[in-house]
Amino acid sequence: MSPFKVVVTDYEYSTFAPERVVFDKLGIELTFEQCNTEDDVIATCKDADALINQYAPITGKVIEQLDNCKVISRYGVGFNTIDVDAATAKGIIVANVTDYCLDEVSNHTMALLLSFARKVTLLNNSVKNGVWDFKVAVPIYRLQGKTLGLIGFGNIPQTVAKKAKAFDLNVIAYDPFVAPEVAAARNVELVTLEKLCQHSDYLSIHVPLNEQTEGMISRKEFALMKKEAFIINTARGPIIDERALISSLQAGEIAGAGLDVLETEPIVADNPLLAMDNVILNPHSAFYSVEAETELKRKTAENVADVLSGYYPTYLVNKSVKNKVELKNKL
């Protein structure tokens, strides 16, 4: 019999081989659920020792009912599905995988930037519609010397900055939580959000979704941007006020957008963005590669295994929980 009950609250995966490699060493069997609501999670996870979470809501209401839970580990970097404060108050460790898909998302960001800069998607569509004429894409400007503004300067945007510099782009960033010396070491200037909007030819969003960042790019920010500016979002859709974005695009206040994420996913059929030639849309795919998915699943499981073995996990979100839970630090 399994010594612990570990529940996967919900999932979109077809295999759990990476997780089983981790848990088989501890004799732990996984329980799989497809929870959509708070009540679903409470009903199936009330007595669980650990949760692995993808999208199911782990709210304060849910956490109140978790009688045995020691750790909640999320598939991903973001943890907006989990009420971290409520978990901390109850002494439950929250974990994520902060170095997941760094290469994939940074590459996808650059792919969207380059697709717009060289108008690859526009020209592809034109040729397939029977028009063989490069002038469809006029004007195209040289990348060298243009400025990429990064909103957020954590692991992923730092990787983006490194790759962008290979194209001779100037890189600036806005992140009030990053020390200037961290940015300076990467030859990136930290600026205010206002200055970033004013000076960037390309803006790329890399902040987590929370109360402070929801809708942070709205009418005021679009009004500051260059008419030639192109905005990229591979983070979370609601960080951009979508109505304001659509309005700015329709008014020609900015040049275009590359969006891997949207406020509502999947996109609704009457969304004006679908009809815009200067908008590139992807179905929330920037995170994906075969290797990244395998790594994510393994590390998410390792977070749980660490805690159930008496250790703080490598990827601890709520560090203040150490005031309530005394575990060993991994060497």
- pLDDT less than 50: residues of the chain: none
Nearest CA-CA partner of 300 in 91, 76, 82: 76
CA distance 93 to 318: 7
Tens of pLDDT, residue by residue over 150-173, are 999 999 999 999 999 999 999 999
Q: Which residues contact 216 (CB under 8 A, 6 or more apart)?
A: 151, 193, 207, 239
Structure tokens at 174: 């806005």
CA distance 267 to 241: 15
Give the domains, in start order, of the chain with CATH numbers: 6-100+290-323 (3.40.50.720), 102-281 (3.40.50.720)
Q: CB 17: neighbour CB atoms within 10 A?
A: 10
Tens of pLDDT, residue by residue over 204-238, are 999 998 899 999 999 999 999 999 999 999 999 99
pLDDT of residue 78: 86
pLDDT of residue 241: 98
Tens of pLDDT, residue by residue over 18-36, are 999 999 999 999 999 999 9
What residues act catalytically?
236, 265, 284
